[in-house]
A = this chain, B = another copy of it.
Amino acid sequence: MKTKDKIIHTSLKLFNERGERQITTNHIAAELGISPGNLYYHFSNKQEIIRSIFDLYVAQLESSFRPHADQRLSLEHLTQYLDASFELMWRFRFMYANLLELLARDAELEQKYQALQLELANWSRDILFQLRESRFLSGDDATMAELADSVKFIIGAWIGYQSAQLKGGEITKPRLYQGVLKILFTLRPYFTEESQNIYQDLHQHYVKCAERSE
């Protein structure tokens, strides 16, 4: 791995584990065993590292949630989407937890974030329409669009909200699996008759994930 990428991944790890506010570029250089000068050769400040982490986040979002045209979805796809929701929240948890602060601090990041939100809104809606097309869900267009917005809201808001409920604000894997279960609960009334057993299997699977990761 190139030094630049190592800096990005190590920063992400430290931000997640110890909180972005606590971590300076010196901590990052020390963790990597490189000199601060070497770090500054790649990034002129912490804010630039955060922007690179955001680019990584966008790339993972695209590969997980950008739907293919006219795709026929299988149970595997549905599980992939739910797993990706969890992975995304877990992998970038410091960003979800500090979102407003990070955006207030950096107008360029704010602009990127808001442009991404519009894309995400479209992707979520397209995925919900495909889930209806593939007979997992049923409901009119307006309902599917509102449901897509609810799912996007849960993923986007879950960590910030859960952090406030927890002493010290530290987020745990079971809490994030509760978020996946919340998505499932929100979709449940729209699962078709023929997909009821699929709903049950998914629900049991993620209840187990939440327990296993305690």
A196 within 8 A of B: no
0 or 1 for each of A94-129: is its CB under 8 Å from B? (1 = yes): 000111110110000010011001000000000000
Taking a contact as CB atoms closer than 8 A, the residue among B97, B160, B185 that contacts A146 in the complex is B185
A186 within 8 A of B: yes
| Min CB–CB distance A104 → chain B (angstroms) | 7
A66 within 8 A of B: no
A160 to B97, CA, bound (A): 10
The answer to whether B160 touches A100 (Cβ under 8 A) is yes
User: A164 with B103: in contact, given A185-B146, A185-B150, A186-B186 (CB under 8 Å)?
Assistant: yes
Taking a contact as CB atoms closer than 8 A, the residue among B100, B157, B165 that contacts A114 in the complex is B165
A114 to B166, CA, bound (A): 7
A153 within 8 A of B: yes
A13 within 8 A of B: no
A185 to B142, CA, bound (A): 11
Interface residues of A in 117-169 (CB under 8 A from B): 117, 146, 149-150, 153-154, 156-158, 160-161, 163-167, 169
Chain A interface residue count, CB cutoff 8 Å, equals 32
User: A103 with B169: in contact, given A153-B161, A164-B156 (CB under 8 Å)?
Assistant: yes
A36 within 8 A of B: no
Most B-side CB within 10 Å, residue of A101, A113, A161, A186: A161
A189 within 8 A of B: yes
A51 within 8 A of B: no
Interface residues of A in 167-214 (CB under 8 A from B): 167, 169, 182, 185-186, 189-190
Query: What residue in chain B is nearest A152 (Cβ atoms)?
Result: B161
Query: What residue in chain B is nearest A102 (Cβ atoms)?
Result: B164
The answer to whether B100 touches A169 (Cβ under 8 A) is yes
A110 to B169, CA, bound (A): 10
The answer to whether B104 touches A169 (Cβ under 8 A) is yes
10 more A-B residue pairs beyond the given contacts A100-B164, A104-B169, A114-B167, with a C-beta to C-beta distance below 8 A: A98-B100, A100-B101, A100-B169, A103-B164, A110-B167, A117-B164, A153-B154, A156-B164, A157-B160, A160-B161
